[in-house]
Amino acid sequence: MSDVGRVWIVGGGPGAGDLITVRAARALAGADVVVTDRLGPSALLSDLGPHVEIVDVGKAPGHHRASQEEINDLLVERARRGLSVVRLKGGDPFIFGRGGEEVRACRAAGVPVEVVPGVSSALAVPALADVPLTHRGLVSGALIVHGHDRLPSSACAVAASGDCTIVILMGVMFLARHAADLVESGADPATPVAVVERGSTSRQRIVRSDLANIAQVAGDANVRSPAVIVIGAVAAGEFLGPLDAVVHTSIA
């Protein structure tokens, strides 16, 4: 097996074309194949040369999303043909991105693989919404969890103590249940919550309330995935002072 190619597991950032790293942009520029899905900087795909094969594994024919195994096989198969393969992901590949599974699959197949870290939505989307995840003297850390299932007990303990911020990804669908569980575990119902939808894009929206009311408020506003939910004192409206008129800027 001579001339095997290489796979890059690339974090593309939260969506804005200018929140991708220089290293990730270089990997994209050198790609023969880009395997992409729903999240990440999809506008950048139109800048790729005509010879670049783009495989959207989030929108396979018949609306069946490719399984992780199919994606792994695709990466390995293209690399074995000697191609440079970029697996472009939203945010960072190792934060709820299944990047670890793809790296393992490549290594198991003897295919060279490199990881390019990305700007995770867990960190960047709150920042874009004026929400610092830590703040000296107020909160001493942040816990990032996924919310497509029951929250882990660690999140309930953190919410009850109030000394760390909680960041929930993939949590919009079960927002009501998560808020209720946290309050039941001892969190103050008045704890501020910010939900930031489509962060870094021109359609970014921020919805705020408290734990007692956020499900209602977000439901009324018809908040949809992708959104990052931030719970804690730092999520209060105007925590950093009044917002400028310009809330979305891009240097692209």
Catalytic residues: 37, 59, 170
Q: Which of residues 100-139 bind ligand SAH (CB under 6 A)?
A: 120-122, 125
By Cβ distance, which residue is nearest to ligand SAH? 91
* 3-state SS record for the chain: CCCCCEEEEEECECCCHHHCCHHHHHHHHCCCEEEECCCCCHHHHHHCCCCCEEEECCCCHHHCCCCHHHHHHHHHHHHHCCCEEEEEECECCCCCCCHHHHHHHHHHCCCCEEEECCCCHHHHHHHHCCCCCCECCCECCEEEEECCCCCCHHHHHHHHHCCCEEEEECCCCCHHHHHHHHHHCCCCCCCEEEEEECCCCCCCEEEEEECCCHHHHHHHCCCCCCEEEEECHHHCCCCCCCCCCCCCCCCC
In the complex, the smallest distance separating the C-beta of residue 50 from ligand SAH, rounded to whole angstroms, is 28
User: Contacting ligand SAH (CB under 6 A), which of 5, 91, 192, 232?
Assistant: 91
Task: Please tell me whether residue 90 binds ligand SAH under the rule CB under 6 A.
Answer: yes
Among 9, 19, 35, 39, binds ligand SAH (CB under 6 A): 39
Q: How many residues bind ligand SAH (CB under 6 A)?
A: 24
Quick one: 5 or 40, whose CB is closer to ligand SAH? 40
Q: Closest distance between ligand SAH and the C-beta of residue 187, in Å? A: 20
* 230, two tokens: 């931030």
Chain centre to alpha carbon of residue 150: 19
Stretch that binds ligand SAH, among 74-82, 83-91, 157-165, 207-215 (CB under 6 A): 83-91
User: Which CB, 76 or 123, lies closer to ligand SAH?
Assistant: 123
Please state, in angstroms and as integers, the Cα–Cα distance from residue 160 to each residue in 27, 122, 222, following that order.
43, 21, 28
106 close to 112: Cβ distance less than 8 angstroms:
yes
What minimum distance in Å lies between the beta carbon of 222 and ligand SAH?
Answer: 15
Q: For the CB of residue 125, give the shortest distance to ligand SAH in the complex, in Å.
A: 5
Interface residue with ligand SAH among 10, 199, 230, 234 (CB under 6 A) is 199
Residue with smaller CB distance to ligand SAH, 42 or 209? 42
**78, two tokens:** 């293209």
Tell me the closest approach of the beta carbon of residue 80 to ligand SAH, in angstroms. 26
Under rule CB under 6 A, residue 14 binds ligand SAH: yes
Q: Distance between CA atoms of 164 and 168, rounded to whole angstroms?
A: 13
Q: Does 206 bind ligand SAH (CB under 6 A)?
A: no
| Segment interacting with ligand SAH, rule: CB under 6 A, options 152-160, 184-192, 207-215, 220-228 | 220-228
Residues of this chain that interact with ligand SAH (CB under 6 A) are: 14-15, 39, 89-92, 95-97, 120-122, 125, 169-170, 196, 198-200, 225-228
